[in-house]
Structure 1
Amino acid sequence: METHEAILIKQGAEARVYKMPFGEGRCAIVKERFKKAYRHPVLDEKLTARRVIQEARCLQRLRRAGVDTPTVYMVDTPNSLIYMEYVDGSSVRDYINSRAPMNDDDERLLAQSIGKSLAVMHDLDIVHGDLTTSNMIVREGSQSLVLIDFGLSMVSSMVEDKAVDLYVLERAMISTHPDTEGMFQCILDTYGKSSKGGKAVRKKLEEVRRRGRKRTAFG
């Protein structure tokens, strides 16, 4: 990747994320997955390529199903790069914090958008793997909810995996956004009504919560 016009905007454990010009009058996000020095080079290349392809496919499947995700422009598998749409907007984390305390209508509409998007995602058997309010964006202008960062995603029909996805989001909201229990409940209610398997996932979520409380209590 030519990096002289690229600006590093995020570096995580798995990837670097850059913003750069792409075509005439638009920008792209470029996600570059790291090589893992501790793995055999051939195995690392295969696993990394699989991850890159998996993330791009998840984004495209969700978009075809009506969930707002960044448009994938190009996938460069040999160099572990995904070029995708730069979404102009605020992360849901910043959106909530900038409006705290949120009025009831805004909170309800945002929670319903999240619940509906997650319901479609799970009905496609896509598990995000890192659901936080930092991995959702409120698109500027349209206020559409955009799901991002599917680097840890997987395809799974298991109710357990989907329940853990929701549990991760619940814990993230509790730690990042105090007093949003009602908002998360609205997300769950909307999810339950919108997802074909929502009832089973919500029942499994109760089991996951109990296990989480035991781990917290006993270390």
Structure 2
Amino acid sequence: MAGNGSKTGTVTTEGLLQQGAEGKLYVADYNGTRCLVKERFMKKYRHPDLDKQLTRQRIKAEQRAFERCKAANVITPKLLGVDLSERKIYMEYLDRATVAKRYIDEAALEGTKNNPKICQLAEEIGRSVGNLHSHNIIHGDLTTSNMLLDPVSDASESGLPYRLVMIDFGLTFHSFNVEDMGVDLYVLERALLSAHSQVPELFELVLQSYKEHNTHKLTEIISKFDEVRARGRKRTMIG
């Protein structure tokens, strides 16, 4: 596997993990190393040449997202390579990681008010999103289903027994537009309210941490976020 799309080894598929409208995720063995493979489907309704072009662009965009996240000190699975001809992205398989959504749901059973597990994770989420935006990276699909908690043997830099790992960069792009960052925050707020209604203060905890870790155009971003939120509420009221 190489970044230029050439194939340099053999890949043996282990099993399908997830399949959606855009593609599928499965575990594979590549030259003795277990990895996660993301394979994009061919869209039959598109002209083959257009479909090939769009798929290549999106895979390359994801590849750039991994590189930019590394520069922004945002943890992601290691990118092992891409195969443009096969429409595949190969990345590190974190088989011991827990989805952040499940972790929050389980922690909430112990109580939500001032729960240290929830407060600590909110701090980590705010820090990661703040680092993304301070480097002009728009994730595009910020949900706790797109965040993994990867256990570590020794405490991480944050003092926690896990690393927060951001995943799924299919909608990620680079932008200097503060409204794009405001929309990213609004998507996160709606996702948290929907998935974690039992912890209604979760987004405010995340936002507090975000403000501490992103000083890049912060006033303008928060102003745009408030505008986007107001428009979203108005649409909800009107129907």
TM-score, length of structure 1 as denominator length: 0.93
C-alpha deviation, 1:193, in angstroms: 2.0
Instruction: Report the structure number with the largest CA radius of gyration.
Output: 2
Q: How does 1:62-211 map to 2 (within 5 A)?
A: 62-87=69-94, 88-100=96-108, 101-102=111-112, 104-141=115-152, 142-195=161-214, 196-211=216-231
Q: Deviations over 1:173-204 (max 9, x none)?
A: 11111132322112111111211122221111
The answer for the alignment partner of 2:52 in structure 1 is: 45
Structure 1 stretch 202-211 or stretch 5-14: which is displaced more? 5-14
Code of the residue aligned with 1:7 in structure 2: it is G
The answer for the alignment partner of 1:12 in structure 2 is: 20
Code of the residue aligned with 2:187 in structure 1: it is V
Q: Which residue among 217, 220, 233 is the counterpart of 1:213?
A: 233
Structure 1 stretch 209-218 or stretch 35-44: which is displaced more? 35-44
Cα distance in 2 for partners of 1:106, 1:205 equals 27
Asked whether the equivalents of residues 191 and 198 of structure 1 are also in contact (C-alpha less than 8 Å), the reply is no
Cα distance in 2 for partners of 1:125, 1:34 equals 29
Code of the residue aligned with 2:34 in structure 1: it is C
Cα distance in 2 for partners of 1:123, 1:13 equals 31
C-alpha deviation, 1:104, in angstroms: 2.4
Code of the residue aligned with 2:129 in structure 1: it is L
- Secondary structure in 2 matching 1:30: strand
Q: Deviations over 1:19-42 (max 9, x none)?
A: 122343x42110001112222211
Cα distance in 1 for partners of 2:209, 2:122 equals 8
- Note the residue ranges of structure 2 that are not aligned, 5 or more in a row: 1-6, 153-160
Does the C-alpha gap of structure 1 residues 209 and 179 become closer, same or farther in structure 2, counting only changes over 3 Å?
same
Cα distance in 2 for partners of 1:159, 1:144 equals 28
Cα distance in 2 for partners of 1:68, 1:20 equals 22
Asked whether the equivalents of residues 192 and 199 of structure 1 are also in contact (C-alpha less than 8 Å), the reply is no
Code of the residue aligned with 2:106 in structure 1: it is S
Q: Deviations over 1:146-167 (max 9, x none)?
A: 0000011111111111111111
Cα distance in 1 for partners of 2:145, 2:121 equals 14
Alignment length (residue pairs): 218
C-alpha deviation, 1:60, in angstroms: 2.0
Identify, as 1 or 2, the structure richer in helix.
Answer: 1
- Aligned identity (percent) is 42
- Note the residue ranges of structure 1 that are not aligned, 5 or more in a row: none
Asked whether the equivalents of residues 127 and 155 of structure 1 are also in contact (C-alpha less than 8 Å), the reply is yes
C-alpha deviation, 1:138, in angstroms: 0.7
